[in-house]
Structures are given as structure tokens and as C-alpha cells.
Structure 1
Amino acid sequence: MELRQLRYFLIVAEELNFTRAADRLHMAQPPLSQQIKALETELGVNLFHRTTRKVELTRAGEFFEEKIRDWQTELQGVIREARDIQAGFRGRVRIGFVGTATHFLMPQVLAGLKKQLPGIKVDVEGELLTPQIEDLLHRKKLDIAVIRPPVTSPEIEVEFLRSDKFEVCFSASDELAGTQEPLDIAELRSREFVSYPANSAAATAFYAACSKAGFLPNVVHETDRMSTLLTLVGVGAGIAVVPTGSGSPMRHPVKYRQIRDVPPIELAISKLVGQNSALIQEVSAVIRDELTNGRFS
């Protein structure tokens, strides 16, 4: 049985006239009759009563037409979904976010994906460090991620998206939190700090800036989660030097001031080399759009 034979059958069932059906199908009438006969032979069922005057569906033909039309509608849906999957508009994607991008970017990306790619299912993991993301990409636990470079593995490709400046995060009651005047990092040498682990990109930049200013920071708490870091700062356990936009003061009782001496830090998309499916390309485009055109650009 061939799909074209089923299509021929449905057209004949609509027209109840082989000549008109053949005209609709842009074919001669004898080959059409032969195809319908071959279908009936394969099914072992007479689908039409044929006389010199008219063509009618048999009871079995009526039943077959109803079921084939239902099946055809379902098949068209399956075909559309398969095409959407090939085009990257359907499927499941696992996205990771480095901690300093989780609070400001992850909600925007998820909203963008829901709007632009409503057919995909998203599994998301936030508040990760770049080394953790590298490991998850290697183990194929993530498909794509937003990271703070650098990465150590040549098997992971990186697309740089933008640079973020650093700022100092204080508790709302801190004496230095009351003005917007930028600070020099040397002014903070006597303070206690809350920091990301030393192997993180943000901490690496922070330690390097302190060293250049001639001091080793007094890190009293170290955490790999931005939400924990902001909570510790909010209760006065220390101050933190973080990339701009890492957290929301609406969620934590903290304030921010710009800092001059810490070089900007990159934000990038990362994935395994060769991971260029249509779905990943579409998701990358949404992330890129949210960073370049969203309200945090």
C-alpha cells in the first residue's frame, strides 16, 4: 500500500467520478482506476460500487474513508512536527547558566524561548561555575550554556557575546553604600570579602586586581552560588566584587557601587565543538538576542 494510493482513493471518494478525480489529480483516468483496483486487491475489500452510470462507496469504503481521513489529519500533524524538529522549532534542550548570569539573564532567556520557540521543552540549571559547566557539557548533561570564559577544554567552543564591568556589592546599611561615586579597589584593602571560589572567572579577575593594587583580599566566606553570596553580603558578613547585573537588590538588601580597577569580564555561549543542530542554533539566537537587544544590554 502506498501513500499516493490512499490520496487517490480519497479524491475518488470525494468526486464519486473517476474522470473528475483524474482531472483533479492531473492524470489519465485508466491509471487511476488501476491504482484503486490495486488498493482494493491489497486490502481484500471492495471500496466502490461501479456501474456505467455512477460510482458509490461501499459500506466498507465509507468506513475506510472515515478512518483514512482521520489518519491523514494525524499524519499531517506528525509531518509538521517532524519538520519543526528538523528546523529547530521543537525538541528538548538543556541550558546551563553561570552564577553571575543566572539572576539577570536566565529569566529573560526563558521568556524569550517561550515566546519565540514555544514548541521546545527547556531543562535549565543555574548558579554554576564555568568549570562545572565544562564538565556537564563534556558529559552531555547540558547542550548549551552561558559562561564566563576562559574554558580549558579544546572540545568546547565559545562565542563571546559581551563584556561586563565589575561593581562592589555592599549591605544596604554599609557606610560606603550611600553614594554612587566609583571606588578604587585599593580603598577596600581593609575590608572583609565574600567571594566566588578562586577557580571561578569572576574571582580570578578580582584577585588579580587586588594583587595589582598591592594587597591580598581578606576573603572570610567563599560560595559557588550568587544567591548565597548576596545573602551573606546583605546580612553584613562581608562585601563582594561582582560583575554588573549579577543580582537584584529587590531580592536582597544590598547596594552597588562601580569600581575602577577591575577589568571587564566576558560573557559567552558555550557548547561542544560540532554541536550545531538546528535546535541549538535557534536557542543560541534567542540567547544572543536577549543579551544584545534585551533590557540588560
Structure 2
Amino acid sequence: MELRHLRYFAAVADTCHFGQAAKRLHVAQPALSYAIRQLEAELDVALFTRTTRQVALTPAGEYFRDEVERILASVDNAVHGVRRLADGRSGLIRLGLTGTAAFSHLPQIARTMQQELPGVALQIQTDMLTPEQCNGLRSGTMELGILRPPAIGEDIELRTIAHEPLVLAVSAEHRLASEPVVSLADLRSEPFVMYGNRESAVTSVLLRSCRQAGFTPHREHEAPGTAVLLALVTAGLGVGVVPASVRSLPLDGLVIRDLPDAGEVELALAWRRSNDHPLVEAVGRLIESLYAADAASAGH
């Protein structure tokens, strides 16, 4: 039994007319009649009653019609799904984000994907530092990351999508909370809350900027990610220097101030170099376009 036999049967069952069915299928009527006889012979059952005036389904034919409709619908859905998958419009993407990227861009990413790629399921892992994301990309537990360069280890491809200045985070009771702009020199004697991972891109930029300002920051407390870092700062345990996207996270008791001489960090889209799945490329292009649009609007 071939798939074409089922499609031929469905057309005849729908029209109850071999001539009309043949015209719909763009086949010769004798070829269609022969194919139906082949199908009946294989099933060893009559699917139609035929007279000179009419063609009608037998009870077996009526049952078979319902089953064939279900089978053909499943086949069509499978074909459609395979094509969407090959075009990068269907499937699952596991996306890792740095803490601040989640605060500022995740709602926009999720909303745009729902609009542009509704067949793609998005699984999010947030507040991941760069080393953790690179490990996830290499191990295959995630397909895309939004992280701070440089990448840690090999086989990771990066595409810069944004540059973010570093800003100062202090508790509302801190002496610098009322200052609109602060310099690094003002932080010389302050205890710092810093990321616990020494390979953090934010920490690398901060240490370099502090050296240029003539001091080494005093690491009073360490945090595994941005959310914990900001909580410790809010509690008054030290000051924090973080990417400016934390401004999108309203937190009672936390004050964000400009820190012009602290430098800036890159934000990059990351994926495993050997992962050439079209879905990864499709979602990556969408994310990159969102950040490019934000940068263009900020420049006006």
C-alpha cells in the first residue's frame, strides 16, 4: 500500500465520482480506477459500490475513510513540522543569560519570539556567568548564550551585540547615594561586593579600571551572581559595580549611580562553533536584531 493509494481513495470518497476525483488529482481516470482496485485487492474488501449511475462507500469504505483522513492529516503535519524545523522555525532552544541581560532584554526576546517564531519553545537559564555558559554550550545543555566576553575554553563562537557601561550600586543609606555621578576614586576606601568567579568579565574590567585610578578594590564579600550581589549591596555590606542594565530591575533600598571612569563591558551572543542547526541561527539572528534596534534607537 502506497501513500498515493490513500490520497486517491480520499479523493474518490470525498466526491463519490471517479471523473471528478481524477480531475482533482490530475491523473487519468483509468489509472485512478486501477489504483482503487489495487487497494481493494490488497485490503481484500470492497470500499465502494459502483453502478452506472453512482458510486457510494460501503460500510467498510466509510470506516476506512475516517482512518485515512486521520493518517493523511498526520502525514501532512509531519511534513510541515520537518520543513519548519529545517527552516529554523520549530523546535526547542535553551538560552542562557547573564543576570543583567535577563533583567533588561528577556521580556522583549520572549515576546518577539512568540510573534516571529511561534513554533519555537524557549527554555531559559538566567543569572549565568560566562564560564558556566561556555560549559553549557560545549556540553550541549544549552544552544545559545548571552554573555560577557571573552569566552572560556574552545569551540565557542561569539558575536558582539552590545556595549554596556559599568555603574555603581549602593544601598539607599550609603553616603554616595545622593551623588548623581561618582568616580572610582570615591570608592578607594569602600568595601566591595564582587562576583565570586575570578574569571568574571565585569570583575576583569573593574580591576583594570581601579588600577588605572591608583588602587585595588577591597573584596569584602563575594556573590555567585548578580541577584545575590545586589541583595548584599542593598543590605549595606559593600558597594557593587555592575552593568548598567541593572537599572531595569527596581529594588527597594538600592540606588544606581553613574560611574564614568569604570569602563564598559561587551555583551555577546554565543553558541558552540560546531552547532550549525538552522534553528540556532534563526533565533540568534532574531536576538541580534533586537539588540541592534535598541542600539539604533539609543543613538537617536
Give the alignment's TM-score, normalised by structure 2. 0.91
> Does the aligned pair in 2 maintain the 1:226–1:247 contact within 8 Å?
no
In structure 2, distance between residues paired with 1:262 and 1:94: 32
Residues 74 and 61 of structure 1, relative CA distance in 2, 3 Å threshold: same
Superposed counterparts of 1:130-145, under 5 Å: 130-145=130-145
- Match of 1:157? 157
Gaps of 5+ in 1: none
1:196 paired with 2:156, answer no
Structure with a larger share of its residues in helix: 2
- Stretch moving more, 204-213 or 18-27: 18-27
Question: Could you tell me how far apart the structure 2 residues matched to 1:86 and 1:170 are?
Answer: 49
Aligned to 1:292: 292
Question: Where do residues 51-70 of structure 1 align in structure 2 (5 Å cutoff)?
Answer: 51-70=51-70
In structure 2, what residue type is equivalent to 1:144?
A: L
User: Is the CA contact (8 Å cut-off) linking 1:231 and 1:252 kept in structure 2?
Assistant: no
**Percentage of matched positions with identical amino acids:** 34
Q: Compute the displacement of 1:117 (Å).
A: 2.5
- Native 8 Å contact 2:130 2:152 kept in 1: no
Query: Do the aligned residues in 1 keep the contact of 2:103 with 2:249 (CA within 8 Å)?
Result: no
Offset at 1:276?
Answer: 2.6
Offset at 1:292? 2.7
- Paired with 1:224 and 1:252, the residues of 2 have a C-alpha distance of 21
Structure 1 contact 161–291 (Cα < 8 Å) conserved: yes
**d(CA) in 1 for partners of 2:18, 2:102:** 64
Q: 1:248: how far off?
A: 4.2
**Alignment-mate amino acid for residue 286 of structure 1:** L
The aligned residue for residue 217 of structure 2 is 217
Distance 2:101 2:120 in 1: 22
2:90 is equivalent to residue 90 of structure 1: yes
Deviation of 1:89 (Å) = 2.2
What amino acid is the match of 2:184?
I
Unaligned runs of 5+ in 2: none
Note the alpha carbon deviations across 1:188-228, whole angstroms, 9 max, x for none.
Answer: 11111111133200001001111111111111011121111
Partner of 1:18: 18
Q: Provide the secondary structure at the position in 1 that maps to 2:199.
A: coil
TM-score, L = length of structure 1: 0.92
After superposition, what is the alpha-carbon deviation per residue over 1:31-54, rounded to whole angstroms, capped at 9, x for unaligned?
111111111111111111223333
Partners of 2:158 and 2:269 within 8 A in 1: yes
Query: 1:62-141 residue pairs with structure 2 within 5 A?
Result: 62-141=62-141
What's the CA shift string for 1:88-114, capped at 9, x where partnerless? 222112111123323222333233333
Q: Which residue pairs with 1:272 in the alignment? A: 272
- CA gap of 1:69–1:232, structure 2 versus 1, over 3 A, is same
Structure-1 separation of matches of 2:247 and 2:224: 14
- Counterpart-to-counterpart distance in 1, 2:159 and 2:249: 29
Give the aligned partner of residue 172 of structure 1: 172
Give the count of matched residue pairs. 296
Aligned position for 1:229: 229
d(CA) in 2 for partners of 1:53, 1:169: 87
